[in-house]
Structure 1
Amino acid sequence: MPETQWTAADVGDQTGRTFIVTGANSGLGEVTALTLAGAGAQVILACRNVEKANVVAAEIGANATVRQLDLSDLASVRAFANSVDGVDVLINNAGVMALPLRRTADGFEMQIGTNHLGHFALTGLLFDKIRDRVVTMSSGLHAYGSIDLDDLNWEHRRYDRWRAYGQSKLANLMFTYELQRRLDAAGSSVRSVAAHPGYAATGLQAHTESIFDRLMSVGNRLIAQSAEMGALPGLFAATAPDAEGGRFYGPRGLGNLRGHPVKVGSTKKSKDEDVAAKLWTLSERLTGVTNFIT
């Protein structure tokens, strides 16, 4: 992408296009939905908390549709996917961060289950209906993660909430790269793109149920950029004609924590094609969503 300061004003006319934004009831998802709808798009707000999503939809108006989606429950993911006729861009935005150990409806560790496996299943179930691209939100904290293929769901290891979060965000990034490799092999025109918001002030940091909630509330005031700025890399990935499949976009500032979107790097682990292929196979087995790229 050119070395310019890309902003929401550069989203361009999205009239006639449909976007799904998971977790669009608050934070980055809310900003993303509002921006896309303001550019003329039809936006499906796919949210666990429908009551909060309805508030955002009311602000948007006729261009918004609210649908219930709980990524921590594969039955909900399937029901949502069955309700969608077609979509130009799927934005896998929803997520949880640094929670105490708990499990999804299907028995997965909550962070890998929601952030990765839920979105993996959603993408697979919607794949034949996606016309343009899949955008998956990761994090700079993917660097703190490792994929444990023998204990993805923390059934045998001592649980560490931050390592679990890092694993889930690394999985998001590896899924993006592996999806693009499979799209290329299939000759598909669909693009798989990753993005991260840097350090953006959102409600995500207020739900760790630990002292980190207080610490990060201070960081939000002193260090973080706004949710509006944090949403830009994802918006670029979702709308820019020159957003490249298999690439990662984030803020350009120091440490990729703040600033306008640019192409950014990722760890050596995120580019391990062998682990990525095995993670894909494991994700298929755990979710039951298989063979969606032919």
Structure 2
Amino acid sequence: MGGWGLSDMPSQQGRRVVITGANSGLGEQMAIALGAAGAQVTLACRNVAKAQRVADWIGPHARVAELDLADLASVRAFADGFDGADVLINNAGVMAIPQARTADGFEMQIGTNFLGHFALTGLVLDRIDDRIVTLSSLMHKRARLDVDDLNWQQRKYSRWVAYSDSKLADLVFALDLADRLAKAGSAKASLAAHPGYAATELQGHTETPFEWVMKLGNLTPIAQSAADGALPALFAATSPHAANGEYYGPRSFGEMRGAPAPASYRRAADDPDLRRRLWDKAEELTGVQVTVG
């Protein structure tokens, strides 16, 4: 895999890719790169006006579709109008925000980052031909995931733990989906990726003093650009060497920057009991029964 970069991306001519949250940051960079490689890219976003500016810059290879992952009605509406794609990239997310609720009453971070993507994937899985790539984070290693209290109704809310929980849930889902696809004999693949420490707008909404620490960190040599942070997900989405059930991230400085490589993750993500309980709880909360086959 070496120093894989955009010049190593195979032609995406004729392929269709859906990217959630592609109006800024990592998703925007993924959309730009995939459009330049010839893919027809759908920017599935809540802020359609902002997404349209990105699509206009990419050109005729890009289009915008409205999708608010914090509202299951919006997820279902998007799925109802979905006409298929080769790749779905579950990228959109919020990070370490003050306590809030989605339209369906879920804690905002678990609701947007995980449950929204779980529902979306389940509703369109039969129309994805090749791969599902789900974004996790280095912060998944700090999670204290409580399947019985995903929505923070019993615990005292901690914005950073809630974020970490959502990213561990994303990783567990991606790996579990990969196993279920393999057992079903499906040719589809589920992969996960993380961007390392990438300078994006995501870090500007925590409303805490630590936000300024992160903004200063964005100016250090450790932080990489959003374009570089997008590379692990782009590798997972396009490389013929990216395998079902693998997790990719930057290879250097404790996985904070560098070219894509296999990433490390908490053993909890392989726990079959956690996987089963999380999947069942997500189906219960979202009302989406995920059929793998």
Query: So what's the TM-score if we normalise by structure 2?
Result: 0.98
Residue equivalent to 1:259: 258
Could you tell me how far 1:125 is from its partner in structure 2?
0.5
- Give the match for residue 285 of structure 2: 286
Q: Distance in 2 between matches of 1:83 and 1:210?
A: 39
Alpha-carbon distance, 1:11 to partner: 1.2
Structure-2 residue corresponding to 1:231? 230
Aligned counterpart for 1:209 among listed residues 203, 207, 210: 207
Residue 52 (structure 1) aligns with = 50
TM-score (norm 1): 0.98
Measure how far apart 1:44 and its partner are: 0.2
How far the C-alpha of 1:12 sits from its partner, in A, is 1.5
Distance in 1 (alpha carbons) for counterparts of 2:285 and 2:148:
13
Report the Cα offset of residue 213 of structure 1: 2.1
Name the structure 2 match of 1:158: 156
Query: Residue type of the partner of 1:120?
Result: F
Q: Distance in 1 between matches of 2:23 and 2:59?
A: 14
Q: Which whole-Å CA distance do the structure 2 matches of 1:92 and 1:11 have between them?
A: 19
For residues 182-229 of structure 1, the C-alpha deviation after alignment (integer angstroms, 9 at most, x for no partner) is 101111010000000000000000011222222211011113111111
113-122 vs 219-228, which moves further: 219-228
- Aligned-pair identity (%): 58
The equivalent of 1:37 in structure 2 is: 35
TM-fit CA distance, 1:72: 0.3
1:1-294 matches, within 5 Å, as 2=1, 4-222=2-220, 223-294=222-293
Cα deviation, residue 271, structure 1? 1.4
Contact 2:12 2:39 in 1 (8 A): yes
Q: 1:64 to 1:263 in 2, by over 3 A?
A: same
Q: CA-to-partner distance for each residue in 1:52-76, whole Å, 9 max, x for gaps?
A: 1011001011111100100000000
Cα distance in 2, alignment partners of residues 149 and 264 from structure 1: 24
Q: Distance in 1 between matches of 2:277 and 2:40?
A: 36
Task: Indicate if the aligned counterparts of 1:146 and 1:269 stay in contact, CA closer than 8 A.
Answer: no
Deviations 1:164-194 (A, max 9, x none): 0110000000001110111011110100000
Cα shift at 1:145: 0.5
- Shift in Å, 1:146: 2.4
SS at match of 2:130: strand
Choose 146-155 or 160-169, whichever is displaced more.
146-155
CA contact (8 A) 2:123 2:290 kept: no
Rounded to whole Å, the distance in 1 between the matches of 2:265 and 2:213 is: 26
Decide whether the 8 Å contact of 2:97 with 2:159 is kept in 1: yes
Where structure 2 has 5 or more consecutive residues not aligned to the other structure, the ranges are none
Counterpart Cα distance in 1 of 2:228 and 2:290: 37
Shift of 1:82: 1.2
Deviation at 1:291, TM superposition (A): 3.7
8 Å contact 1:23–1:46 — kept in the other structure?
Answer: yes
Alpha carbon RMSD of aligned pairs, Å?
A: 0.8
State the AA in 2 paired with 1:236. F
4+ residue runs of structure 1 moved beyond 6 angstroms? none
**Distance in 1 separating the partners of 2:106 and 2:290:** 21
Equivalent position amino acid for 2:225 in 1: S
- Deviation per residue, 1:132-174 (Å, 9 max, x gap): 0000000011000022011110001000011101100000000
